[in-house]
């Protein structure tokens, strides 16, 4: 009944933020969802929501975008769990071959992607936020809606699981071990 109107154009500060931060945020989105196309989709949706709230979040837009990305990624993962077959073959290596043509690097990345795929969504979140966004435990906890202790626990388990996976794959599979060397 009582309409409120805002400007129809993006704020210049927001556009600058997108130019400066979108590459890093896309990588975070990719870590969260393991699919290049879905990561781009998540990022665009998160940035649109940020633009719509720019006046409130422009002081700390990164935190808001990360929070939205985490929530969107959780939604996608829930959808995948309902339709697992559609994504069974999409989750892993192909998305990581983009822009890389060195064979060893590709194999390393594929191994890493396979390792990441063994992690739970929460474990992926802690790795993305702590080691790629360089957030503190407290900031990570705030975004994830978890306690600091939970974040530490997820971090420890994620790294442990990843280490075991990479170590196991490198030694257990002689074919892939040759490529990794």
Partner 1 sequence: MSTEPTPGEESGLVAELRAGIPELAPPPTLLPDLRRRYARRIALRRTGFAAMPVALVVAVGVAAALVPHGPASVAPQLQSVQDAADVAAQVSKAITGANQDVLEESFAMTVTPMGSPVPAGHHGTVKIWLSMRTGQLHSTAYLDGQEIFDSGLSNSGQFTVVDPPHNTYLTFPNPGQHPELPHGTFTGDEIRSAMKSGKLAITARDQQIDGQSTIELTGTLVPKDEQGTTSPDAVPQRFWVNTTTYLPVRMATQVSGAWGNDVDYSWLPPTADNEALLTVTVPAGATQRR
Q: What is the contact surface with partner 1 in residues (CB under 8 A)?
A: 1-10, 15, 18-19, 22-23, 26-27, 30-31, 36, 39-40, 43-44, 47-48, 51-57, 96, 98-100, 108-109, 111-112, 127, 131-132, 156, 159-160, 162-164, 166
Please state the closest distance from residue 96 (CB atom) to partner 1, in A: 6
Query: Considering beta carbons, is residue 8 or 84 the nearer one to partner 1?
Result: 8
Phi and psi of 156, rounded to 5°?
-60, -45
The Cβ-side half-sphere exposure at 75, using a 13 Å CA radius, reads 13
Q: Where are the alpha helices (DSSP H) in the chain?
A: 12-33, 36-52, 54-57, 61-82, 84-87, 103-117, 121-127, 137-144, 148-172, 174-180
Please state the closest distance from residue 116 (CB atom) to partner 1, in A: 8
d(CA 179, CA 169): 11
Query: Considering beta carbons, is residue 84 or 154 the nearer one to partner 1?
Result: 154
Query: Considering beta carbons, is residue 84 or 134 the nearer one to partner 1?
Result: 134
145-160 as b/e: b if 16+ CB within 10 A: ebeeebbeebbeebbe
Count of CB atoms situated within 10 Å of the CB of 8: 5
Query: Considering beta carbons, is residue 78 or 100 the nearer one to partner 1?
Result: 100
Please state the closest distance from residue 40 (CB atom) to partner 1, in A: 6
124-139 as b/e: b if 16+ CB within 10 A: bbbbbbbeebebebeb
Please state the closest distance from residue 26 (CB atom) to partner 1, in A: 5
Query: Considering beta carbons, is residue 146 or 159 the nearer one to partner 1?
Result: 159
Please state the closest distance from residue 94 (CB atom) to partner 1, in A: 12
């Amino acid at each position: 009944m009582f309409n409120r109107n805002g400007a129809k154009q993006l704020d210049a500060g927001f556009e600058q933020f997108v130019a400066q931060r979108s590459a890093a945020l896309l990588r975070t989105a990719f870590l969260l969802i393991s699919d290049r196309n879905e990561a781009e989709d998540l990022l665009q949706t998160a940035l649109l929501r940020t633009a719509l709230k720019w006046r409130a979040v422009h002081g700390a837009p990164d935190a808001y975008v990360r929070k939205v990305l985490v929530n969107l990624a959780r939604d996608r993962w829930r959808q995948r769990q309902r339709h697992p077959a559609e994504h069974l073959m999409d989750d892993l290596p192909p998305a990581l071959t983009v822009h890389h043509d060195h064979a060893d690097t590709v194999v390393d990345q594929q191994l890493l992607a396979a390792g990441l795929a063994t992690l739970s969504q929460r474990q992926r979140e802690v790795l993305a936020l702590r080691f790629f966004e360089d957030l503190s435990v407290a900031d990570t906890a705030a975004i994830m809606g978890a306690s600091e202790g939970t974040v530490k626990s997820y971090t420890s388990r994620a790294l442990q699981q990843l280490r075991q996976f990479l170590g196991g794959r490198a030694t257990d599979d002689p074919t892939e071990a040759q490529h990794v060397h």
